[in-house]
Structure 1
Amino acid sequence: MIIEKKARTYVPENLDIKWEKLEPLFNELLTRPINSVQELESWLKDKSELEAVVEEDFAWKYIRMTCDTLNEQLLQDFQYFATEIEPKIAPISNNLNKRLVESAYMVELDEEKYRIFIRSVKNDLEIFREENIRLFTEIQIKQQTYQSITGAMSVTLDGKEYTLEQASVFLKDPNREIRKKAWEAITTRRLQDKVQLDTLFNELLKLRHQVAVNAGFENFRDYMFRALGRFDYTPHECYKFHEAIEREIVPILSEQSLKRQEALGIDALKPWDMDVDISGKPALRPFETGAELIEKAISCFNGLDPYIGERLSIMQENHLFDVESRKGKAPGGYNYPLAETGAPFIFMNSANTFRDLTTMIHEGGHAVHTFISADLELNDFKHVPSEVAELASMSMELMSMDKWDVFFDNAEDLKRAKKDQLRDVLKTLPWVAVVDQFQHWIYTNPDHTTKQREAAWKQIFTPFGLNFADWSDHEEALENLWQKQLHIFEVPFYYIEYGMAQLGAIAVWKNYKTNPEEGLRLYKEALKLGYTKTIKEIYQTAGIEFNFSAEYVHELATFIKAELDLLEAE
């Protein structure tokens, strides 16, 4: 099925996305008379269509640039948008928001339908500052530098060049010397750019702090809580979440690490001992090529639900995947919604590992979310907060496990895969807590030095187990481990959501195991809402709680541990 975009009713078809073409449309929206609630709703729909067109154009510029960071023309196209279009749209968007809230007809809009949207508009108006437009442009350009630096990283092992993602496959090798050699090569390569990345981050820190000060905030942390629309929780509750993870999850992982050490028969776990399968068997290899990964993911999703499987088939037919790792490609993985098309693009760096399987399923969960909410009336209704977006993806990882037989030829490998997944669920939570708490420290101490930042990272990381490895003789690698987390550079404060959503996903899976049909139905009903309800209401629709108290963490951790114990006992 080839995707056909809905016919435009306001923006001319095939409009060239240049400022001189966009400006008249924005100006028309600014000056159009609005004399009834019906005209206000029509104005909102036209504004939404224009925003979706512009968003999708930016999406493709970002996608193409990350697919080939060495292509100078693609970089220039991205920078044109960032420097020539976005800065000019920002003040107009603010004035359009003013038009809405100052309209005499806003009070006549359906309160239930528009309440979340209007709340967000008012929040954006309160923190908007004209002087920050230039800073946002500078920040966006600098953030892209991280992709260029890390995308160019590669190592040579036994005479062959590998991207860091490809080289990380050797960390699963049963031969400890091979693992050590790969880890040291990867780490040495990362540390080659340590100073460059520190300099880049110091520049970003200064710019971000100035944005916060300009907007009337004491620090960037407090600014970002408002900018991200975190209406449902506070920084204090984040600290409570960190404490709950330290108390409830770290002891389980500590116990697991002792089992790992005993199984491997070594005196101490080193960083290169953490990914190898303790059974002594070769690493799981659920597919051989990117094309096979996509085919098997479609089969897996079809087994779960025909609608869900069909979404990935549609993406395949429309060439909306770039999954294999190669030099010059930006690191990481993402699902990028195409606002006008109503479909997404999945980007990842597959090196034919088990982790790539779960990345595909994770991004596939995001993709389903994009499709299922695509028909919501306004573009803003689809701008879901990360706490909800990650619930969609992380729940998919767990619910899909019973269909992973399409990836594995025998029951033993399937069981190994499920155990790895549940261990990863537990491992995710402390790392999320560390990265989040680190960012709280960074931005509430904006005048810190590079050395102080390294010390703070280690101090924060220590109570959460330091990944349960012995870092003796590798102090520099430990102190700079944060540099591999692209979120810190590119999307500050977007990380605690993974922890909250991971808890929610465990609860969704718990419901699914009790009643698969009902659990999946509630999951899809929650995704259909987009961002037309509060986070708490969306979680309630999914049949779960938006709750990260110590008691709730304990309940869900106990459930996951019991499931893991069952698999290990088989």
Structure 2
Amino acid sequence: MKFNEMPYQRINLEEKKLRFEELMKDFAAAANGEAQFEVHKRYYEFKDEIDTMVIIASIRHDIDTTDDFYEKERNYYDEIEPELIDMYVRYARLMYESPYRNYLEEKIGTVAFKNIELNIRSFDKKLIPLKQEENALTTEYDKLIASAEIDWDGEILNLSLLRKYLTHKDREVRRKAYSKYSSFFEANGDKLDSIYDKLVKNRTRQAEELGHDNFVGLGYDRVRRNCYDKAMVENFRKQVKEYFVPFAEKLHEKRRSRLGIEKLSCIDESVFFENGNPEPVGTPEEIMASAQDMYGKLSDETKEFFDFMSENELFDVLGRKKKRAGGYMTYLPVYNAPFIFANFNGTSGDINVITHECGHAFQGYLSGKDPIKEHADITMETAEIHSMSMEFFTAPFMDQFFGSRTEDYSSMHLEDAAIFIPYGCMVDEFQHIVYENPQMTPAQRHQAWIQLEKEYRPHLDYTGYPYFEKGGFWQKQPHIYDDPFYYIDYCIAQICAFQYKIRMDENYQEAWDSYLKLCKLSASDFFTNMLKEVGLDSPFEDGCVKRIVEKLDTLCL
């Protein structure tokens, strides 16, 4: 079914509660594991119906953040989401404590039961008012970012549409665009500080209610760190500081020389060539047609996937002034349908949407065929391998999008992926500092960011942009507000994607077969186990990061 034809009806919470109690009663009364699993299949349907309505409302709100109807629906779900979570956790606890747990665990897997444990551990009904406040605050942040109206020579742009001028080949145009970009954050700085301060205090109170000293442990439970811990993440960041930061700085120096400038400024941060970054050839419609051709040739599985997405109009990728900033893939379970949301702006980022977000969507399409719904419940570091690796697997087709500048795009993409690693780790360490020290003032948080910039991105110079000079750049990163502790997943996944890049250069088909196997495994096993199963090294192991840097050194320098 086409997305715009999917019917929407607000979830009636009281009706759902009555149906839920019936499910709970039937599950508890079941005489054996087989009977409980039959009830569990009914629970799948129950939850899918709710999730689909919530997601439809969310997408339609993001498509037009000024739509009064869907704004009210978004606010409604912000309000009732904690009560929905309470139902899900109550049901999960009943499964967890079932006398037939061994049978159920055999059916849905040990990973599912570990995730159930984390879900139970990370929620209590007494948190509902705090969760409602947290949802309202993240929505307030998203709406504030989406509300940006940048006057560009008489045309009003949002932050996403300004992007093409931030990466313009003319340095003076970049300077002007960056000035307008930073001015938006400076004008809204107090509000952004206030929202985040309230979020930190809110999440800290939630953690304390559950017996934690601070939010870090609860944050890890919420993002379902089910097979690695804080110490392993710290060791990964340590390796990045030791090996990746010096390598990234060499890449920045190479970029500075290529741009022909004496010193890199923040206005040069996303620019790789003196004549400008390569831009996609053709209209958005032509880009989408080329994408369909590409996925039709890549494999039988990707052809089936992209044809399904196209036929059912499961994309909204054109940049518009009233759209939420950014991009994502989400999933509509009733229709077994991924959906891709993005903001095309005429830059190479448009093609990254067609590769990165389609990597997510492809895996979602495959896992939607699995009757065990828990297998689709992947953790985010796994999900990001699917997307980041797809960026590399589609490389042989980039001439369809970049023509004579295909080689420029390929080298830019590889360099950009490499220099991202220090930034992603910096975002993660920043969040650990903030949540381990929740009493910090906004000014102290800004100062902590400045110090991390010196450690992870020493080349960076914000001179002339006072708000970013004082450490405000992090406020443009929605993950910090909306999804605490998510961001490191990109870095972990990128190390794995680099391994696929190295392997596909040696044997493309073998690398693709491994990738396809990983997509199909979904969440049927733990992340660290799946890496071994498909022949990838764990980023947490000492030596892995160093080996990747040595390989990339020969490719990039």
Call closer, same or farther: CA 1:82–1:165 in 2, change over 3 Å: closer
Shift in Å, 1:113: 4.3
Shift in Å, 1:64: 1.0
Residue in 2 that maps onto 1:526: 518
1:296 aligns with 2:290: yes
RMSD: 2.0
CA–CA distance in structure 1, aligned partners of residues 238 and 8 of structure 2: 53
Shift in Å, 1:212: 0.5
1:409-456: per-residue Cα shift (whole Å, max 9, x none)? 22xx11000001111111110111100000000100001101100000
Shift in Å, 1:376: 1.8
CA–CA distance in structure 1, aligned partners of residues 218 and 147 of structure 2: 33
Contact 1:153/1:190 (<8 A) preserved: no
Residue in 2 that maps onto 1:50: 46
Structure 1, unmatched stretches of 5+, are 6-12, 566-570
Paired residues for 1:265-344 under 5 Å: 265-278=260-273, 280-344=274-338
Residue in 2 that maps onto 1:568: none
CA–CA distance in structure 1, aligned partners of residues 447 and 171 of structure 2: 30
Contact 2:182/2:465 (<8 A) preserved: no
1:36-95: per-residue Cα shift (whole Å, max 9, x none)? 1110110111111211111111111111111111122211011212223x2333333232
Call closer, same or farther: CA 1:405–1:129 in 2, change over 3 Å: same
Residue in 1 that maps onto 2:430: 438
CA–CA distance in structure 2, aligned partners of residues 151 and 289 of structure 1: 24
SS of 2:329 mapped into structure 1: strand
CA–CA distance in structure 2, aligned partners of residues 187 and 330 of structure 1: 19
Residue in 1 that maps onto 2:448: 456
Residue in 1 that maps onto 2:353: 359
Paired residues for 1:186-205 under 5 Å: 186-205=181-200
Shift in Å, 1:258: 2.1
Q: How many residues align?
A: 552
SS of 1:89 mapped into structure 2: helix
Call closer, same or farther: CA 1:432–1:14 in 2, change over 3 Å: closer
- The more displaced of 268-277 and 217-226 is 268-277
Of 34, 51, 72 in structure 2, the residue corresponding to residue 76 of structure 1 is: 72
Call closer, same or farther: CA 1:113–1:100 in 2, change over 3 Å: closer
Amino acid at match of 1:492: P
Residue in 2 that maps onto 1:93: 88
Of 225, 231, 240 in structure 2, the residue corresponding to residue 230 of structure 1 is: 225
SS of 1:408 mapped into structure 2: helix
SS of 1:345 mapped into structure 2: strand
CA–CA distance in structure 1, aligned partners of residues 111 and 356 of structure 2: 27
CA–CA distance in structure 2, aligned partners of residues 373 and 283 of structure 1: 36
Contact 1:135/1:211 (<8 A) preserved: yes
Shift in Å, 1:133: 1.7
CA–CA distance in structure 2, aligned partners of residues 354 and 214 of structure 1: 46
Residue in 1 that maps onto 2:213: 218
Contact 1:165/1:325 (<8 A) preserved: yes
CA–CA distance in structure 1, aligned partners of residues 109 and 41 of structure 2: 13
1:180-229: per-residue Cα shift (whole Å, max 9, x none)? 11111111122211111111111111111111011111111111112222
CA–CA distance in structure 2, aligned partners of residues 47 and 456 of structure 1: 46
- Percent of aligned pairs with the same amino acid: 26
Amino acid at match of 2:36: L
Residue in 1 that maps onto 2:166: 171
1:420 aligns with 2:416: no
Residue in 2 that maps onto 1:8: none
Amino acid at match of 1:320: L
CA–CA distance in structure 1, aligned partners of residues 377 and 509 of structure 2: 27
SS of 1:103 mapped into structure 2: coil
Runs ≥4 residues deviating over 6 A: 13-16
Structure 2, unmatched stretches of 5+, are none
CA–CA distance in structure 1, aligned partners of residues 314 and 182 of structure 2: 33
1:384 aligns with 2:378: yes
Of 465, 468, 489 in structure 2, the residue corresponding to residue 474 of structure 1 is: 465
Call closer, same or farther: CA 1:87–1:259 in 2, change over 3 Å: closer
1:290-337: per-residue Cα shift (whole Å, max 9, x none)? 323322222222232232133122112111111121212111110011
SS of 1:543 mapped into structure 2: coil
CA–CA distance in structure 2, aligned partners of residues 99 and 167 of structure 1: 50
Residue in 1 that maps onto 2:543: 551
Shift in Å, 1:469: 2.7
- The more displaced of 62-71 and 280-289 is 280-289
SS of 2:335 mapped into structure 1: coil
1:260 aligns with 2:255: yes
- The more displaced of 153-162 and 174-183 is 153-162
Amino acid at match of 1:88: E
Contact 2:146/2:324 (<8 A) preserved: yes
Contact 2:329/2:360 (<8 A) preserved: yes
CA–CA distance in structure 1, aligned partners of residues 322 and 87 of structure 2: 36
Shift in Å, 1:2: 6.8
Amino acid at match of 1:97: A
Residue in 2 that maps onto 1:10: none
Amino acid at match of 2:233: C
Amino acid at match of 1:125: I
Shift in Å, 1:514: 2.1
1:389-426: per-residue Cα shift (whole Å, max 9, x none)? 0010011011111111211222xx11000001111111
